[in-house]
Amino acid sequence: MSEPIRVLVVDDSALMRKMIPQMVERDSGIRVVGTAMDGEFALQKVAELKPDVITLDLEMPRMNGMDALRQIVKKHRLPVIIVSAHTTEGANSTFKALAMGAFDFVAKPSNGASAHIADIAAQLTAKIRAAAQSRTRPTPSFAVPEFSKVQKVSRPKSAPSRVVAIGVSTGGPNSVQYVLSRLPADFSGSILIVQHMPEGFTEMFAKRLDATCSMDVKEAKSGDLLLAGRALVCPGNRHMKVRRAALGNMVVLSDEERVNGHRPSVDVLFRSVAQEFGANSAAVLMTGMGEDGAEGMGLIKAAGGMTLAQSAESCVVYGMPRAAIERGYALRVSPLETLPNAIQSLCAKSAVAMAMS
């Protein structure tokens, strides 16, 4: 029998230092070996207790979570899961932490509803397990792009040459930023992104992508048109589909039940893209836990579209791409470094732009 995953919980809230162990120790394979109320105590406990995984609050007295994270990543190379406040400031700090090397994040419970707590507990437990597993895999070699605002170039609105649907989860924010930041201002395709992320965080994610990419990036709203050079990010807790319409091809958001345990679900987007755009579509599955998107990728392949999966060595978590590859749905497997060129080439090779009707 394998040893339990050793977890250190760092949070200035006494309630959270009590609640998080209760949530994760329902899994017999996880054991909380200690807690700390700020970054200074956390660094002492890391050296003393030698945890496998750390959960970390960012807003704390004395040494805050960001300063603690910097030292944990540099000195100890331990996977850190951010437990983030459900605020704009909290979301912004979370994306900075991910860029610094945090493994993933969960949103702090915003209310005491048992269903909500159970959902957060399930997410945190799964991410702790994935984080512990990641310690046995080589670290992806790509460099996280520096956050710097890009000067936008105005361009006329036009139909895209191809619709590219991207599905991604753990490790996604940095990886998607890497890909989009390397696509040119005159990119001819339209990109749709489902990133497993809670509501309240996807808007900030889209804004950060927009600031660092030549393309226009925004959080999707129902009725947003699919345009060349535009990327739309599905809002948290919604599903995103596509629809061909007289006024233009557009996205439609819905509140249907979770699929594969997720809302948004990659499979929902991929299935819709396959139905509406067939051979003029592409599916890209990137780093993430689970199997969401695999079957949808199979539908896009069956419809004549192109399918790409991120390679194992460049994934933070090799779950979603592996599921598609093992089922024979990925026509091409690419390391993260070559995905931008692969996507650009796919869209440039589409001979005729899709009709807007």
Residue 322's CATH number: 3.40.50.180
Same domain, 250 and 126: no
Same domain, 121 and 264: no
How confident is the model at residue 356, as a pLDDT? Answer: 35
Question: Per the domain annotation, does 37 fall within a domain?
Answer: yes
Question: Per the domain annotation, does 145 fall within a domain?
Answer: no
Range of the domain at 11: 5-134
How confident is the model at residue 3, as a pLDDT? Answer: 92
Same domain, 169 and 295: yes
Question: Per the domain annotation, does 65 fall within a domain?
Answer: yes
Domain termination site, one of 118, 134, 150: 134
Cis check for the bond before 264: say yes or no (omega within 30 of 0). yes
Same domain, 177 and 39: no
Entry pTM: 0.91
Q: Which residues are catalytic?
A: 169, 196, 292
Question: Per the domain annotation, does 90 fall within a domain?
Answer: yes
How confident is the model at residue 325, as a pLDDT? Answer: 98
How confident is the model at residue 115, as a pLDDT? Answer: 62
**Strand-pair partners of 279:** none
Question: Per the domain annotation, does 156 fall within a domain?
Answer: no
Question: Per the domain annotation, does 345 fall within a domain?
Answer: yes
Same domain, 286 and 198: yes
Same domain, 122 and 175: no
Same domain, 191 and 340: yes
How confident is the model at residue 153, as a pLDDT? Answer: 74
Number of domains in the chain: 2
Question: Per the domain annotation, does 354 fall within a domain?
Answer: no
Question: Per the domain annotation, does 67 fall within a domain?
Answer: yes
Same domain, 174 and 313: yes
Same domain, 234 and 185: yes
Same domain, 127 and 203: no
The two structure tokens encoding residue 314: 């460049």
Q: How far is CA 2 from CA 30, 134, 290, in A?
A: 11, 16, 22
CB 318 within 8 A of CB 168: no
Residue 76's CATH number: 3.40.50.2300
Same domain, 57 and 190: no
Tens of each residue's pLDDT in the chain, 357 residues: 589 999 999 999 999 999 999 999 999 999 999 999 999 999 999 999 999 999 999 988 888 899 999 999 999 999 999 998 877 788 889 999 999 999 999 998 765 555 678 888 999 999 999 999 986 554 554 555 555 667 777 878 899 999 999 999 999 999 999 999 999 989 999 999 999 999 889 999 999 999 999 999 999 999 999 999 999 999 999 999 999 988 889 999 999 999 999 999 999 999 999 999 999 999 999 999 999 999 999 999 999 999 999 999 999 999 999 999 999 999 999 999 999 999 999 998 654 444 333
Same domain, 125 and 214: no
Domain termination site, one of 134, 155, 183: 134
